[in-house]
Structure 1
Amino acid sequence: MSLPAPDILTPSQLNTLARDLLESSFPAIWVEAELGSVARPASGHLYFTLKDARAQLRAAMFRMKAQALRFVPREGMRVLVRGRVTLYDARGEYQMVLEHMEEAGEGALRRAFEELRARLQAEGLFDETRKRALPAHVQRLAVITSPTGAAVRDVLSVLARRFPLLEVELLPTLVQGASAAAQITRLLQAADASGRYDVILLTRGGGSLEDLWAFNDEALARAIAASLTPVVSAVGHETDFSLSDFAADLRAPTPSVAAELLVPDQQDLVRRLRRDAARLVQLQRHALGQAMQQADRLLLRLNALSPQARLQALRQRHAELGRRLHAASQQQQQHRQARLRHAAAVLRGHHPQRQLDALGQRLQAVGNRPLAAVQRQLQREQLRLRGLARSMEAVSPLATVARGYSIVTRQDDGVLVRSVGDVKPGDALQAQVSDGVIDLLAR
C-alpha cells in the first residue's frame, strides 16, 4: 500500500496560510512596549520595533493613522499600541499593523477616563436635560481653584476689566495631587450648601492628563451634577476635556473664556444703558405728547359742557338760525313778488275791458252777420223743440191720464202696480189722476 503524496507548497502559499492563521487567531490586541529603530520615510508611514527586555517585534503604522498621533514617536519612548498581527510576505516575518498608539503612562489613565465617562454617561449624569441655566446677571461668584496658579489671575483680571461690580470669592484648593479631588469636592459641596453664590466656577490651567486627573474624579462629577447652584467648569486648555466639564452646567474652553461668559462687558452695559436711556426719554416725550393731546381734548370737552359755553353755543345757533330765517324770508318774498308780477301780467292780458274792446273790434269787423246767424239758429232750435214736445206728448202717460185713466203705485217703494198680484191686502197705494193723487188701501 502506497502513501498519498504530501502537498507541495511554494513559499508564497505558505506565507499566505501563515498570515491567514495569524490574523484569524489574533484579533486586535493591546501591547505595551518600548519603541526602537523608529523610521519615517517620505511616504509618511511609520516603521519601528516594539521591544522589551527579552524580545522585539516589527511594527508599522500607515500614514492616515500616523497623522492622527498627538505626539512624535521617539526611540526609547514607552508606548501602548493596539493593532493586528499579520505576516509580511516579502521577508516572511510576522509584524503588527497598528491602528492606535499613545504614551504608555497616559494611555492607562485615558482608558480609565473613557471607561468612567461611559459609565456615568449611561447613568444620565451628563444629559443636557438636567443641566441648569445660568442666571442672566451673576452678582456673587465662587471661584474654586489654586490661589497661586495662572488660571485665577486670568479669571480675576477678566472679571475686573469686564464687570468690576461682581462680588468674587476665591475658595483656594489644591488642583492636582492625590488629595486634590476630595478637597475640591468638599469645597464645592460647602459652597452649594451655603446658598451664597449665584454660580460656582471650577478652574485651573492646562497640563497633562495626569495633571488634570483630580477633575476626573467620580465623586467630584457626582457632586457637580447634584449641585443646586449652577456650576461652570474651565479646566485646562481648549482641547482638554475632563469629567467635570461633562457634568457641569456649562463648559468653558479656558479660564479667561469662562470669565467672559459669566459677566457682561461693562462697556456694552454702558452703551446699552445709554441706548435704553435715550429710548426711555423718547418714550417719555411721546407719552407726554399724547397726555397733553388728551388733556387738550378733555379741556375742549369740559369747556363744551360748561353752562357759559353751552349758552354761547346756543347764542351762536340762535344767530345762525336767525340769519337762515331772514335769508329764507327774503328768498320767499322775492319768489312771491315774482309770482305776483307774473300774475299781474297774466291779468292784464285777460282784463274784461280788453276782451270787450277786442270783441267790439270783432263786431265791427263782422257787422250784423252774427246776429242774423243767431236768429236763424234760434228758429231752427225752436222748430226742433216743438217736434220733440209733440213726440213726448204722444208717449207721455199724463196724456193717457188726462183721457180718464190713472197710474197706481205702491206707496212704500213706488213700484208701478200692473196686476192684482203686485199688491196684497193692507198695502198703501197711490193713484195718479189728471188733477192729483188719490191714496188707496188694498183689500
Structure 2
Amino acid sequence: MQGHNLFHAEQGTPAQSDNQRPLTVTELNSQTRRMLETRFANVRVEGELSGLARPGSGHWYFTLKDANAQIRCAMFKNRNRSLRFVPAEGMQLIVRGRVSLYEGRGDYQLIVDHMEEGGAGALQRAFEALKLKLATEGLFNSEHKKPLPALPSHIGVVTSPTGAAIRDILAVLRRRFPSIPITVIPSAVQGKEAANELVRGVEMANRSGLFDVLIVGRGGGSLEDLWPFNEERVARAIAASDVPVVSAVGHEIDFTIADFVADYRAPTPSAAAEVLSPDQQDILNKLALLNRKLQALMKHRLQVLSQTLDNTSLRLRHPGERLREHHQRLEDLHIRLQQSMTIALQFHSARHQRLNDRLLQSSPSRSIERLQGQLNLLKNQLDSSIQVLLKQKESRLKQLTGMLDAVSPLATLSRGYSIVARGDEFIREAGQLTEGERVTARFSQGSADCQVIEIHKS
C-alpha cells in the first residue's frame, strides 16, 4: 500500500500523508530501488570512465561521466571476467545494465552487465579487423589492381553532389583538361544510409557502361564521418567493379578500407582529379614536338630516296652503249682468233719445213720412205689439229655472237618493240617530243618515218 502511494506520487498524484503512516528510510529506498529496476531494467549509457576500483572480491566499481553529470557504476566479477579488454582511466565506454539503488546508503547507481569501448576505439578495432579479413582474402593484392586510363573518355564520380569534394574535382578538371566528360552519381557520404548508396552508385556506374574510370570519395572528417568507406559491403563493391576505381577519401593522413581495395588511392579528391587528367598544355606541346620530328624525318627520308634515285640513274646505261661494248669485245675475240690461227699455222709450217729439210738431207730410200710416211702422218695430224682448232674457235664465235644477240636491242625489237629516234638521238620519254615533229621508228625489220600527232606524258 505504501509503495502504491509512492508510485502515484511519482505520477503526479498528491500523496495523502496526513492520514497515513510515514515511510521508514529503508522502505523508501527499497521501493525506490524496485521502481528504478523496473523502469530502467535494460539501458545503454556512454561516458568516460573515472575512479576505477578493483578490490579483492573481483567486483569493479567506477564512475561514468560526461561534461555535465556522472553516475556511479558496479560490475560484478561474474560479468567483468568475460571482457576482452581492460578498461583504463579516461577511456570512453558504452555500458549496458539496469539502474538500481544501494539501499544501505541510498546511492543511485548503474549495475553493469556488459561493457565495450565507445567512440573511436571501437571503430578502430572494427577497422583493423576488416582490414585483416580482406587482406587475408587477397583483395588488397597488386595483381587485382586494374590500370587507370592514360586519358579517360568519361569519368564517373560517386559522391555527394553538394559536397566540397565534387567542387574540388571539377575545379581541377576545368584547369587541366576541361574536355573530359564527368558525371556525378549522387550518394550520401555520411550517415546510416551512406554505405548502401555508395554500393548502389558503384554498381550503377558499372551497369551503365559509360565510364572507363570511377572516383569514389568525399572530403575530410572524423573517423565516424568517414566510416561508410570502411564498411565491408562498400569494399566488396569496389573490388568487384569492372571499371577501375580511384579512392579519394578525406585528407592525405586519412586511410579507409576503400583506399586499400581500390585500384588507386588518391590522398584527396583534388589529387584524384590530377591523376586522371593529363595537363592539356603538356599534351599540346608534345603533339607539336612530335609534328616537328615527323616533318624532319619525312624530309630526311625524301632526301635519302632522292639521292638513291640519282645514284640509280647514274648506274643505268643506254642499250646502245652496251651494244657497242659487246661489238668491240667480239671484234677483239675475232682478232685474237685470227692471231691464234696464224701462230698455229706458222708453227706447223716451220716444223714441216724442218722435216722437209731433214728429208732432203737423207738419201737412203728406206729413210725416204720412213720419212715420207712420217710426213704424211704429220700432215694428217696437222690437218686434223687445224680442223679441230677451227671448229673450237667457230663454236666460241657462235657462243659469243649468241650472247651479243641476247643483249642486243635487235632482239627486243623482234618481240614487237620499236626504237623512236630523232636523227642520232634516241627518244626515251614523251616529254622529249613536240607535236607535229617528224621522228623515225625502227623495227626488227626495217623502219618508218612518223609524225607526232598528240603527246601523252603520263
The normalised TM-score by structure 2 is 0.47
Greater Cα radius of gyration, structure 1 or 2: 1
Question: TM-score, length-normalised on structure 1?
Answer: 0.48
